[in-house]
Structure 1
Amino acid sequence: MDRALACASSLVPCQEVVEGPLLNSFLSIKQGLKMFIIEDKGGAIAIMCASLLFLGTWPAVLTLLERRGRLPQHTYLDYSITNLLAAVLIALTFGQLGDSKHNMPNFFTQLSQDNWPSVLFAMAGGVVLSIGNLSTQYAWAYVGLSVTEVISSSMVVVIGTTLNYFLDNRINKAEILFTGVGFFLVAVILGSLVHASNAADNAQKLSASTNSYKIGTTGDDMEPSKQVIDKDAPKDMENGASPTKYATKAEAGTAEYLIELEEQRSIKVFGSNTFIGLSIVFFAGVCFSLFSPAINLATNDQWHTLKDGVPHLVVYTAFFYFSISCFVIGIGLNILFLYRPMAGVPKSSFRAYLNDWEGRQWALLAGFLCGFGNGFQFMGGQAAGYAAADAVQALPLVSTFWGILLFGEYRKSSKKTYILLVFMLLMFIAAVATLMASAGHRSTK
């Protein structure tokens, strides 16, 4: 400090001070500041656990809003905004720390590089994820949160994990990894059985109810009642939809609860074919199975699409492009759905969406949770292998917890349904444990 003051008063040559300890300390700090990259197995597992919590919670938030009557188009438009914002925040923080390196450029450096083949892989992953998320908006209403998440997530593991194993040059332990895949496959079958059993339970409750509102009809051989036709007919939200109801008064699990829930929710499912819901779930599962392998190709260039000397996309840059395509597809399709809704959902408009503030904070929160959850999954996958990172597909364990706690799913169900549910969850836990145990270590050299 004395030498620096002397320099200021010209008693000591400034160059000597600059080249002395002060400069060395500054250079040491600067060299120590580098991009945040997870390189050890323990860190990868920790961040995957955080991803699991986030990815298991955001579907419950959106389901809550749908059950309260908020239009899925409005909810998803809000969600898409913060989902992209999460990717931008990750890119500008984790992806921009420290100086650029030849083999690991920071975020802004990569934006100007000739890496479009990898960018297109990342954006393709965003497209299929966005379509899958849009599908599950309706699947949650048809077959319930728990079953939707179990079946779609299990399909991700069965298809996506297999693809990632070979793309990752088999860095995961095959005998452990594919044992976990087998457990997930059994979980898919059990999930379908749980849904079928629970649907039969609900039908029995409704048939025993004294309420004339029974699955959209007033009798087995009668046409739908006018009350049901009027209720299910699409309404123009610009011209006075009924106010949103926020809670049912009946006890969860009863026929009256199911009827009140149907009256207030935005997607009407009474009288629908069981296979419609399951078909939507399986379609979503196929879409979800492809987004992780696409990010794997974007960040590791296994197909050698980049020119010589062009660095691979850093995971943060890949996630940024991935989220942009998610945003474009999500916003575009949901604006279309405002005017041409699906599944009997009422019509709306962009003006009605802007004026709909009921539950908007929850939809925005869901977007942040999903965005950071996906980002953390990719960060863990880059370190320990994307096949092992698919362990975050344990998210149905979290979603089922929220489904039972918040929505009364499986209340007053039959003993058969409870037994199937327990075996499904146990199989799922075993699958996740074996998948995490297969984690390897990706060389950064």
Structure 2
Amino acid sequence: MRVIEDKGGAIAVMLVSLFFIGTFPAIMTLLERRGRLPQHTYLDYSVTNLRAAVLIAVTLGQAGEARPGMPNFFAQLTQIHDNWPSVLFAMAGGLALGLGNLVSQYAWAFAGLSVTNIICSSVTVVIGTTMNYFLDGRINRAEILFPGVACFLVAVFLGAAVHSSNAKDDEQKLSTVERRGVVELSSDFAGKAIVLPDPEQPENGGGGDDCDAVGQAKPGTAEFIIQVEKKRSIKVFGSDKHKLLGLGLVFFAGACFSLFAPAINLATNDQWHALRRGAPHLVVYTAFFHFSLSAFALGFGLNLWFLYRPMAGVPASTVGAYAGDWNGRPWALLARLLCGFGNGFQFMGGQAAGYAAADAVQALPLVSTVWAVIFFGEYRRSSRKTYLLLAAMLSMFAVAVAVLMASAGRRKS
């Protein structure tokens, strides 16, 4: 069995995990902006995550010879009568992650993608990291770990400021669109004459500075914002009256996310002594398999239900429509593979160097924001204040990642 035991290897897999977990929301956002129904995307997402867990378990979990107290994956599957309390902890963690993912996809509609990710990450770090620090017997250096948590919180507040400043920039762009026809977008613009270009009428001169040579709106312009809103499946504009509901969903999702890593910690290390004396602890690969199995069951089952009873104004669908929807399916499968391997690498690094240090991967807004700037044109043509806040936020997230990983310890066998 291949296990990571040194600090350097643990940090390496945690960095890979950060990249993977920070990249998959960008792919999910790409599909949503192209109009793919979130129920279809999350059904693909649920299936592929289980595949990633199985692939990790049957490769790394079966590689090499078993060690005393560390049976291989298939051998440990047959020992469930000995380790069922740990299996239940792992499955509880999967349910927490699955529920958090399910709630967060609809929180995006009410609170926006940026705010949802930033608040969820902050709640996860504050609650989850503290729990993991004490569960792990304080193997992480507190004098480094908790300043890292503080840096993370500063980055979160900067992220909220970036979102607020950018929202004001977008409002100003929309308020200056050339008058051709009035369209109500949200209560933020109530009482203002927000006018959008008539899509049936060609732009004079190709659209001027706001359009490229083929008449496509340039990123950062009001026309670009309007085009994105028309295509996306979860409508963000017009949802301000549900702001309190949105914040409630965000904090609930964050609470769910904060529990899944401590649950895996308990499943693999048995700090509460739930196993009988002499029973081997659940190996991280086996724990990840049971974790992913429960997350799949919850995510797949509930999203099947949401096909027929959707939320947030998303159109209803059917099983047949889902089965025939191949538009963007390869991207959805890739997103879940990235998330699945990212979660697996996080747990592998946490098992070696402490799950509190592994919570550095919750700086995923660092990676997601970079992809948003590169591929989605977010923050283009924004104010200098927004750019300064954005640079400060990204810098603070980078510092927080470095400090949390520097607190990594080494778990005793």
User: Could you tell me the TM-score, scaled by structure 1's length?
Assistant: 0.83
Alpha-carbon distance in structure 1 between the residues aligned to 2:388 and 2:184: 27
Q: Does 1:148 align with 2:120?
A: no
Give CA deviations for 1:28-83 in whole Å, capped at 9, x if unaligned: xxxxxxx1010000111111111111111111111000000000000010111111
Question: How many angstroms does 1:197 deviate by?
Answer: 1.9
Q: Does 1:356 align with 2:325?
A: yes
Question: How many angstroms does 1:93 deviate by?
Answer: 0.9
- In structure 1, the residue corresponding to 2:264 is in which secondary structure? helix
Question: How many angstroms does 1:370 deviate by?
Answer: 0.6
Indicate the residue corresponding to 2:259 in structure 1.
290
Give CA deviations for 1:116-139 in whole Å, capped at 9, x if unaligned: 111111011111111111223234
Alpha-carbon distance in structure 2 between the residues aligned to 1:283 and 1:192: 18
Q: Comparing 427-436 with 66-75, which one deviates more in the overlay?
A: 427-436
Question: How many angstroms does 1:441 deviate by?
Answer: 0.3
Q: Does 1:190 align with 2:158?
A: yes
Q: Comparing 247-256 with 96-105, which one deviates more in the overlay?
A: 247-256
- In structure 1, the residue corresponding to 2:64 is in which secondary structure? coil
Alpha-carbon distance in structure 2 between the residues aligned to 1:143 and 1:73: 19
- Residue in structure 2 matching 1:61, options 9, 14, 27: 27
Give CA deviations for 1:85-113 in whole Å, capped at 9, x if unaligned: 00001111111123333310111111122
Question: How many angstroms does 1:155 deviate by?
Answer: 2.2
- Residue in structure 1 matching 2:216, options 243, 249, 270: 249
- In structure 2, the residue corresponding to 1:165 is in which secondary structure? helix
Alignment of 1:311-326 (within 5 A): 311-326=280-295
Alignment of 1:25-424 (within 5 A): 35-113=1-79, 114-209=82-177, 210=179, 211-215=181-185, 220=190, 249-273=216-240, 274-424=243-393
Question: How many angstroms does 1:435 deviate by?
Answer: 0.5
- In structure 2, the residue corresponding to 1:332 is in which secondary structure? helix
Alpha-carbon distance in structure 2 between the residues aligned to 1:277 and 1:399: 21
Among the aligned pairs, what percent are the same residue? 68
What letter is aligned with 2:72? N
Alpha-carbon distance in structure 1 between the residues aligned to 2:380 and 2:172: 14
* Contact preservation (8 Å) 1:158, 1:184: no
Aligned residues: 387
Alpha-carbon distance in structure 1 between the residues aligned to 2:397 and 2:250: 18
Alpha-carbon distance in structure 1 between the residues aligned to 2:385 and 2:334: 36
Indicate the residue corresponding to 1:16 in structure 2.
none
Question: How many angstroms does 1:147 deviate by?
Answer: 4.1
Distance 1:185 1:254, change over 3 A: same
What letter is aligned with 1:206? L
The gaps in structure 2 that reach 5 residues or longer are 196-213
Alpha-carbon distance in structure 2 between the residues aligned to 1:423 and 1:216: 29
Alpha-carbon distance in structure 2 between the residues aligned to 1:342 and 1:354: 20
* Contact preservation (8 Å) 1:155, 1:185: no
Q: Comparing 151-160 with 56-65, which one deviates more in the overlay?
A: 151-160
Q: Comparing 205-214 with 83-92, which one deviates more in the overlay?
A: 205-214
Indicate the residue corresponding to 2:405 in structure 1.
436
- In structure 2, the residue corresponding to 1:86 is in which secondary structure? helix
* Contact preservation (8 Å) 1:262, 1:269: yes
Alpha-carbon distance in structure 2 between the residues aligned to 1:281 and 1:195: 15
Alpha-carbon distance in structure 2 between the residues aligned to 1:142 and 1:405: 24
- In structure 1, the residue corresponding to 2:100 is in which secondary structure? helix
* Contact preservation (8 Å) 2:114, 2:163: no
What letter is aligned with 1:204? Q
Distance 1:216 1:151, change over 3 A: closer
Question: How many angstroms does 1:414 deviate by?
Answer: 2.1
Indicate the residue corresponding to 1:25 in structure 2.
none
Query: Alpha carbon RMSD of aligned pairs, Å?
Result: 2.1
Alpha-carbon distance in structure 2 between the residues aligned to 1:153 and 1:202: 25
Alpha-carbon distance in structure 2 between the residues aligned to 1:411 and 1:145: 17
* Contact preservation (8 Å) 1:59, 1:145: no
Question: How many angstroms does 1:216 deviate by?
Answer: 5.4
Alpha-carbon distance in structure 2 between the residues aligned to 1:429 and 1:276: 31
* Contact preservation (8 Å) 1:156, 1:288: yes
Alpha-carbon distance in structure 2 between the residues aligned to 1:248 and 1:383: 54
What letter is aligned with 1:361? P
The gaps in structure 1 that reach 5 residues or longer are 1-34, 226-246
What letter is aligned with 1:46? A
Alpha-carbon distance in structure 1 between the residues aligned to 2:374 and 2:41: 22
Question: How many angstroms does 1:142 deviate by?
Answer: 4.8
Alpha-carbon distance in structure 2 between the residues aligned to 1:347 and 1:141: 16
User: Could you tell me the TM-score, scaled by structure 2's length?
Assistant: 0.89
Q: Which has the larger radius of gyration?
A: 1
